[in-house]
Structure 1
Amino acid sequence: MNEKIRGRLLIIGGAEDKKGECQILNKVVELLDHKLSKLIILTTATRFPEEVGKEYQEIFMNLGLKEVEAINIESRDKADDTEIVNKIKNSAGVFFTGGDQLRITSLLGGSKVFGALHQIYRQGKLIAGTSAGAAVMSGTMIVKGESDDTPKKCTLKMAPGMGLLEEVIIDQHFAQRGRIGRLLLAIAQNPYMLGIGIDEDTAILVNSTGRFRVIGSQTATIVDGSQISHTNVSELESNQPLGLLDVKLHVIPAGYEYDLKSKQVMIPQEDDLENI
């Protein structure tokens, strides 16, 4: 798994604190290479790009950044704009806002901007995203699915994501919207993938060694289906409930780490917890 992780990702479960200590957004600032020009905010996912872009610009500048630019890519033509491509290549990092993840992939997929994002990722620059901007990080993403309900066939829609983090499926607003059922269904359909559900005001910081660390106020839920002994997912009729045996599940709070290659949780020492 770790050979498929090339750079650094900060994947945020949505609704991150924007008015208090701003722990997660401060982490974005901390992780940027401040020798480079600016942070780029990509507002492609939202229907309110001006308002959302301005909000994040003000937040990040109040947190100490000198240059923050919001860019809304609302068409395929704009996703091939040379000026935007160069801004991304020369940036300190990129932050995806929330909204609709399918807007991100349908507008950026295969474009020059898409290529630039993968280029800076391979270079080790930070790519961060919240809510829809988190879901889109993986190679396969959840587009739509029933929350807070029994997992059933035909209630989940998936599509290719940005492919920055492969063999993983990300879900966000996880505990707050009761999304465990739909992540279990996603893993039943794709047991070679790892499911990661990220709560609101919580993030995972993925580094190039293939480990991630949880930060924020809530938890990340890990669903490992590699040892599933039985599932009826392929035999189900529409809207019939899922059967699934021997799924491994972890719920880990801030300070805990997870190795994506060995699929092991690293429990922090007491001294580490005091520094969170």
Structure 2
Amino acid sequence: MVTKDRAAGEGRGLLAVIGGNEDRDGDRAVLAALLRALPMQRPRVLVLTAASGAPAELWQHYRAAFETLGAEPFWLDARDPEELDTAPAMARLAAVDLIFLTGGDQHRLLDTLGDTPAMDLIVRRHATEGLAVAGTSAGASALGARMPRGDEGSQIAGGPPGPLPPGLGLWPRVVVDQHFSERKRLSRLVQFLGVSPGHVGLGLDEDTAVFLHPDDLMEVVGSGKVTVVAGGGPGTRLQAMGQGECWSLDEVSLHLLTGGLRLDGRHLPEGTPDALRRLLDRSVED
């Protein structure tokens, strides 16, 4: 158990999603902002590289970055659920202030972490003990309610994708996509909403992050922008319309957020778009 002087205390922890390729060698603005958002002077950071195909190399980059920024990093390189279901791994998960999920393949991450006692511990500590959870690239996509598959291109041809697989669910009703502007993923995110009605799409540019603070403040940090897309409501679907298959999704809204934006979910200004209100709603899905 993390002691009171190290953790945020009882209550929800910070949630952070990063679009990938955040600066790890220069001013490290996104990672520095992430650590500043934590309530302790020298946070203990567990770098979980389960998504990566080159975990040792990635760990060396993050170890150097977090140490330079004043944190105390640790490495957990689980390749399957059994490697997480050990006393040392569970003890480490119980004793850190921030879980950091690296990039790679979100499906590999879900195969390792999803539906395990380790994930149950992370969820409980995040909800009640102030444990912060952050993910970058594939790690960010895995934190949503649903997550993009890795096999679709930037522009989906031939109709909508099939149902999206579930993510870890720490951000309810949200589908997180990353490397967004760089890989021209707007089209696919819009189409993802067609098979995930009622969800909000969150497209993160590289070196850009969204922080959800425990007090319901949402903050955008970094050098790029964040694209928020919402389509229709529950029941909206992509539909084939005759020969040639014209696919349509009604009532799509799009919002661009830039670094420095701060939205207080407790005191949203009049006229705040419904998509942003839904983004800030972290209640559990029905």
Q: TM-score range by the shorter chain?
A: 0.7 to 0.9
| Structure-1 residue corresponding to 2:6 | none
Counterpart among 165, 180, 183 of residue 177 in structure 1: 183
Distance 1:218 1:48 in 2: 26
Counterpart among 252, 255, 273 of residue 250 in structure 1: 255
Distance 1:259 1:190 in 2: 26
| Structure-2 residue corresponding to 1:136 | 142
| Structure-2 residue corresponding to 1:92 | 97
Cα 1:168–1:131 change in 2 (3 A) is same
Distance 1:251 1:171 in 2: 14
RMSD, aligned α-carbons: 2.8
Distance 1:211 1:136 in 2: 21
Distance 1:21 1:36 in 2: 18
Q: Structure 1: which amino acid aligns with 2:205?
A: D
Aligned residues: 260
C-alpha offsets along residues 178-237 of structure 1, whole Å, 9 cap, x if unaligned? 100111011122220111000001000012344421110010000012459975x14479
SS of corresponding position for 2:247: coil
Cα 1:208–1:46 change in 2 (3 A) is same
Q: Which 10-residue stretch deviates more, 222-231 or 53-62?
A: 222-231
| Structure-2 residue corresponding to 1:18 | 24
Distance 2:111 2:199 in 1: 23
Q: What is the correspondence of 1:150-161 to structure 2 with a 5 Å cutoff?
A: 152-155=158-161, 158-161=164-167
C-alpha offsets along residues 40-69 of structure 1, whole Å, 9 cap, x if unaligned? 00000001111111210111101112x211
Q: Structure 1: which amino acid aligns with 2:185?
A: R
Shift of 1:144: 2.7
Cα 1:62–1:39 change in 2 (3 A) is same
| Structure-1 residue corresponding to 2:7 | none
Distance 2:196 2:231 in 1: 8
Shift of 1:71: 0.8
Using the aligned pairs only, state the percent identity: 29
Counterpart among 211, 214, 220 of residue 226 in structure 2: 220
Q: Indicate yes or no: 2:93 matched with 1:81.
A: no
**Structure-2-length-normalised TM-score:** 0.81
Distance 2:115 2:63 in 1: 27
Distance 2:27 2:157 in 1: 37
C-alpha offsets along residues 121-180 of structure 1, whole Å, 9 cap, x if unaligned? 112221111000100001211123534425642546621111111111000000100100
**Structure-1-length-normalised TM-score:** 0.84
Q: Which 10-residue stretch deviates more, 106-115 or 151-160?
A: 151-160
| Structure-2 residue corresponding to 1:49 | 55
Q: Structure 2: which amino acid aligns with 1:81?
A: T
Distance 2:162 2:88 in 1: 38
SS of corresponding position for 1:169: strand
Counterpart among 58, 68, 73 of residue 68 in structure 1: 73
Distance 2:168 2:20 in 1: 18
